[in-house]
Amino acid sequence: MRPEEAIGSETVEAREARAPFRFPREMVVGLLALAVAWEIVSWFVPPFIVPGWGRIFKSLLGLPLDFVLVTLARVVGALVVSFVLGLGLAVAMYASTPVERYARPLVRLLMAVPVVCWILFAVLWFKWVEFRIAFVLVVVCAPVFLVDALDAMKGVSKDLRDMLRSFRPTRVQLFTKLVLPATVPAILTSWKINLSLAIRVVTIAELVGAVTGIGYGLVVAQELFSVSEVFAWTLILVVILFLAEAVLTRVEERILRWRA
C-alpha cells in the first residue's frame, strides 16, 4: 500500500469513528416531511385525535423516563438469554441429526403460536411479572436465533469444508475455524430482527400485569385518555429502535469489513 493510500484509509476510519451514527439523507428528509405533514394535519384536526408536536413534546417532558430504562433492561436481558439458548440449540442440532429431527418440529410449533397466546400462557402459569415478561420474550426470540444460525451453519460451502478437511482438523477445529465464523452475518441479521421484535413484544407484555415500563405507561395514558402521552411513548419507542439499529449496523460494518 502506498503512503497516500494509507493516509486516505486512516482518514476514512477517523471520519467513521467521529460519526458512529450515520443516517441516510433520504431517511432524514422523509422523516422531516412526515413531521411537517403531521403538524399541518394537527391544525385542522382536534388534538385528541392528532395532537401537535408542541403537545407531544410537552407530554414527553412529563413522562417517567425511568420506565424507559426498565423496558431496555428487560429487552437486553431477554435477548442475551435468547441468543445463548438459540445458538446453543443450533449447535446441538447441527452436530446431531437425530436431535435436529426431533427438535425442529418443536421449534416450528413454538414459532407458530401467536404472541398474544404466549402472553396469556405466561399470565396463567407464572406469578412473578418479571418472569412472565422474560418468558414471553425468550420464547418468541430464541427460535429466530436458532433457525437463522442453524440455516447458516448448513449453508457453508461444501468446497470450503473439503478444503479445510484436507488439513485433517478435529471436529471442534472444523466448527470453530469455518462453520461458526460463517454464521456471523446471519447472527447479526437475527439480532436486527429480534431487536425490533423484542421492543414490540415487550410493550405488549408490559400491558398485562406490569407496573413499570413503557407498556405500563401506555396503559396509564390510555386510561387518562391522554392521546399526546400515547404518541410521546410511541416516539420514544421509535427513537430507541432507530438508535439500536444504528448501533447494530455500525457493529456489522466493523465485523464484516471484509465484505466491502
What digits encode the pLDDT tens for the residues 81-137? 999 999 999 999 988 889 989 999 999 998 999 988 999 999 899 888 889 999 999
> Taking the complete model, does pTM exceed 0.85, yes or no?
no
Q: What is the pLDDT of residues 51-78, one digit of tens each?
A: 888 888 888 888 888 899 999 999 999 9
- What is the distance between the alpha carbons of residues 218 and 223, in angstroms, rounded to a whole number? 9
Range of the domain at 159: 68-259
Q: Residue 177 falls within a domain, yes or no? A: yes
- pLDDT (average), residues 128-152: 92
What angle, rounded to 10 degrees, do the helices at 66-95 and 97-112 form?
150
- Max CA pair span of the chain: 74
What pLDDT was estimated at residue 260? 56
Q: Residue 22 falls within a domain, yes or no? A: no
> In this structure, what CATH number is given to the domain that contains residue 141?
1.10.3720.10
Q: Residue 5 falls within a domain, yes or no? A: no
What pLDDT was estimated at residue 84? 95
**SS3 at position 216:** helix
Q: Residue 52 falls within a domain, yes or no? A: no
Q: Are 188 and 251 in contact (CB under 8 A)?
A: yes
Q: Residue 4 falls within a domain, yes or no? A: no
Cell of 243: 438508535
What is the helix, strand, coil percentage profile of the chain, to 5? Answer: 80, 0, 20
- What is the distance between the alpha carbons of residues 26 and 75, in angstroms, rounded to a whole number? 29
Q: Residue 120 falls within a domain, yes or no? A: yes
Q: Residue 226 falls within a domain, yes or no? A: yes
Q: Residue 214 falls within a domain, yes or no? A: yes
What pLDDT was estimated at residue 11? 43
As for how many domains the chain has, the answer is 1
